[in-house]
């Protein structure tokens, strides 16, 4: 609908819609690379191919600090959320084409260790483009960003907040890393 509306309001502008197949800052990484391609003179079709190439490689890992709020997304029952909170369980999810449960951990430190192991499995020693995300936890996010910079060969490294919807569904203290490796 927005494409049709824009065609009426700004005739002559070509708009293409692409499903990112992801969420969080992973979408931003796709958009940034398409914009960089366009900025260097790529045609719309070439920029779309760049975006599709990044889309196929981009991943994200999200570590919740608590299960207290996650039931609000409708993905788990409230009783599971309460039990997880009582047991101090922190779920780790991956995001690539859809949300996948990866593992539960008992501490943020262990969750980050597992996250880094999973990232290494996907990228090896290739340079990466990455974004560290957080929900109302800027100090922890800065610390995580520093760790990502030390652990990986980062061509780009961003720091950003989760959207308000992610913050609502996942809760305060949620951390994540979106990334893709060089082709």
Using a 10 angstrom Cβ sphere, with 0-12 exposed, 13-18 middle and 19 or more buried, the burial of residue 49 is middle
Kindly indicate the confidence band of residue 101, based on its pLDDT and cuts at 50, 70 and 90. confident
Q: What pLDDT is stored for residue 181 in this prediction?
A: 96
Q: What pLDDT is stored for residue 154 in this prediction?
A: 97
Distance CA 38, CA 54 (A): 15
Structure tokens at 116: 């880094």
Q: What pLDDT is stored for residue 37 in this prediction?
A: 97
Q: Which distant-in-sequence residues (6+ apart) come within 8 Å of 110 by Cβ?
A: none
Distance CA 151, CA 12 (A): 46
pLDDT, tens digit (0-9, with 9 covering 90-100), for 138-171: 999 999 999 999 999 999 999 999 988 887 778 8
Averaged pLDDT of the chain:
91
Q: Which distant-in-sequence residues (6+ apart) come within 8 Å of 75 by Cβ?
A: 99
Distance CA 158, CA 168 (A): 22
Strands, sheet with 154-161, edge to edge from the N-terminal-most edge strand: 98-105, 90-96, 59-63, 175-181, 128-134, 154-161
**Single pTM value for the model:** 0.89
Q: Where are the domains of the chain?
A: 58-181
pLDDT, tens digit (0-9, with 9 covering 90-100), for 110-127: 999 999 999 999 999 999
Structure tokens at 19: 């499903």
Kindly indicate the confidence band of residue 182, based on its pLDDT and cuts at 50, 70 and 90. confident
Higher pLDDT, 10 or 87: 10
**Between 138-151 and 108-123, two packed helices, what is the crossing angle to 10 degrees?**
40
CA 142 → CA 37, 54, 104, 156, distances in Å? 29, 25, 23, 15
pLDDT, tens digit (0-9, with 9 covering 90-100), for 52-99: 999 999 999 999 988 777 767 666 667 776 776 777 788 899 999 888
**CATH number of 58-181, picked from 3.40.30.10, 3.40.50.2300, 2.40.50.140, 3.30.1180.10:** 3.30.1180.10
Q: Which H helix or E strand runs over 130?
A: strand 128-134
Q: What pLDDT is stored for residue 75 in this prediction?
A: 65
Query: What value does the mean pLDDT take over residues 163-182?
Result: 88
In this structure, are residues 132 and 148 in contact, taking their beta carbons and an 8 Å threshold?
yes
SS3 41: coil
Q: What pLDDT is stored for residue 114 in this prediction?
A: 97
């Amino acid at each position: 609908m927005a494409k049709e509306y824009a065609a009426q309001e700004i005739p002559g502008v070509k708009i293409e819609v692409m499903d990112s197949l992801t969420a969080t800052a992973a979408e931003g990484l796709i958009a940034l690379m398409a914009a960089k391609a366009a900025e260097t003179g790529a045609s719309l079709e070439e920029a779309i191919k760049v975006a599709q190439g990044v889309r196929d490689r981009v991943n994200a890992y999200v570590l919740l600090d608590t299960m207290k709020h996650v039931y609000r997304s409708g993905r788990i029952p409230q009783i599971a959320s309460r039990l997880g909170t009582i047991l101090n369980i922190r779920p780790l999810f991956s995001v690539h084409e859809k949300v996948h449960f990866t593992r539960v951990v008992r501490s943020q430190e262990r969750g980050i260790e597992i996250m880094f192991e999973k990232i290494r499995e996907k990228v090896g020693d290739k340079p990466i483009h990455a974004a560290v995300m957080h929900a109302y936890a800027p100090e922890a996010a800065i610390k995580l960003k520093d760790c990502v910079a030390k652990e990986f060969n980062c061509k780009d490294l961003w720091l950003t907040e989760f959207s308000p919807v992610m913050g609502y569904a996942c809760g305060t203290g949620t951390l994540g890393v979106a990334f893709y490796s060089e082709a």
